[in-house]
Structure 1
Amino acid sequence: MAETIDKDPVAPVLGNPAVVGLGGFGMTTMLLQFHNLGWMGITPVIWSGFVFGGVGQLIAGFQEQKTGNNFGYAAFAGYGAFWIILCAYLLGSTTGNKMLALNENDVGFFLFGYTLFTAGLWIASFKISKAMFLTFLTLLIGFILLDLVFWGRPSLKPIAAWDLIVCALTAWYMMFHVVFRSVFGRDVLPVGAPLA
């Protein structure tokens, strides 16, 4: 009779949830800026915001929690919630119900809350990589500019839009860094050492 050897089961290789989170963040951020620049309507922003930016990032955040990555957990769950709230707010403003309607002052305060949230993550990004630092720096600048837009400085909207397009592209750069490293087996798109 052959001897039975007990072997530890090999753990399956799991995908990195950041690719979905960064993909959804970059896509919806970019589409909103295309709208803010007057290049397209709001409908694609709302539906991609609900699905890819909202639900997709929430799922990525919950998966990051399982890996012990509190930065990814906070960022993806927080910005996933942002997109769901924003899109619900945009839809609510079309109902004619004053309680659900958008007003610029309220949007400014909503964005200001996320400005403070982003500032904390920007500080944490110093310890991750140069690409992450740049993503959160441009996001923080974008939120500050949008706060000012909704608090009476509408001329800053195109500047905010271009800044946030850069932010979206840096998020996608990091997404493709992870994807390409997995596919090619080497670091095709380096993200740079932490700043601190």
Structure 2
Amino acid sequence: MMPQQDQPANPAPLGLMAFGMTTVLLSLINLNIVDATLEKSFVLTMALFFGGIVQLIAGGIAFKRGDTFAATAFSAYGSFWESLAFYWVLNSEPIGLAPAASARATASFMIMWGIFTFLMWILTFKHSWNLVWIFGTLWMTFFLLAAHALRGTEILLRAAGYFGLVCGILAIWASFCILFFEHTGVELPGASRPL
């Protein structure tokens, strides 16, 4: 289906892909599948540009289309990636403008995002099964990362990595489902509404 002339294209596929790919990359680091030194290079640039700026753009387009849920989600998570990347830059070796965050500060950051995501998750039951699972695995990821920050145990980081990996893959799938439907009219698994 082609968008109307006066209405911008659906920003959801782009926003979901930006979120999903960035989340997968960071989760692979949390799972120790990919070398953690990538955090300072690929994840940082991915978080700044694709996960951050692109999601903020998707949020702006969603606002223009009158889609409050998508506008809030994409703008918020775009800001999440921007703030995380900016913290990494400030905390990096050559710059060093910000000291490393304490365990409590990191946990507080993750808990706030976990609460926000949990509240957004409740709203997903009026959207699609894909979103229910994306937001469900995401709030669990945030709370596991908060627990890891406080406890420092590897098992919590790995659990967060697995939930984040599933979340990111589901976001990539949801992006493809929307694109596929808009191009073919065929609804793929997970795209239907639960309620």
Structure-to-structure mapping, 1:125-144, within 5 angstroms: 125-144=124-143
- Structure possessing the higher radius of gyration over alpha carbons: 1
Partner residue, 1:154: 153
| 1:73-98 Cα shifts (integer Å, max 9, x gaps) | 1100000000000001111111333x
Amino acid at match of 1:119: F
CA deviation vs aligned residue, 1:22-73 (integer Å, no higher than 9, x gap): 0110011011011112213211100000000000000000100111111101
Q: Which residue of 2 aligns with 1:37?
A: 31
* Paired residue type of 2:25: L
CA distance in 2, matches of 1:69, 1:188: 22
Moved over 4 A (4+): none
CA distance in 2, matches of 1:100, 1:58: 27
The residue type paired with residue 194 of structure 1 is: P
Name the % identity.
Answer: 32
Shifted more, 111-120 versus 99-108: the winner is 99-108
Name stretches of at least 5 consecutive residues in structure 2 with no aligned partner: none
Check 1:100–1:20 CA distance in 2 against 1; reply closer, same or farther (3 A cut).
farther
* Residue aligning to 2:78: 80
Q: How many residues align?
A: 185
- Indicate if the aligned counterparts of 1:108 and 1:147 stay in contact, CA closer than 8 A: yes
Contact 2:8 2:61 in 1 (8 A): no
Name the amino acid aligned to 1:22. Answer: L
- Offset of residue 12 of structure 1: 5.5
| Alignment root-mean-square deviation, CA | 1.6
CA distance in 1, matches of 2:104, 2:91: 14
SS where residue 96 of structure 1 aligns?
Answer: coil
Aligned partner of residue 117 in structure 2, secondary structure: helix
Query: TM-score under structure 2 normalisation?
Result: 0.88
Q: 1: distance between equivalents of 2:188 and 2:122?
A: 26
2:68 aligned residue = 70
Q: Which residue of 2 aligns with 1:106?
A: 105
CA contact (8 A) 1:90 1:102 kept: no
Q: Residue 108 of structure 1 contacts residue 148 of structure 1 at CA under 8 Å; is this kept in 2?
A: yes
1:143-175 residue CA offsets vs partner (Å, 9 max, x unmatched): 110110011142210111011110011111110
Alignment of 1:1-196 (within 5 A): 11=5, 14-38=8-32, 39-40=34-35, 41-42=38-39, 43-94=41-92, 95-97=95-97, 99-155=98-154, 156-195=156-195
Residues 108-158 of structure 1, C-alpha deviation per residue, up to 9 Å, x if partnerless? 111111111101101111111111111110001111101100111422101
Distance in 1 (CA, whole Å) between partners of 2:183 and 2:23 is 26
With the length of structure 1 as denominator, give the TM-score of the two structures: 0.88
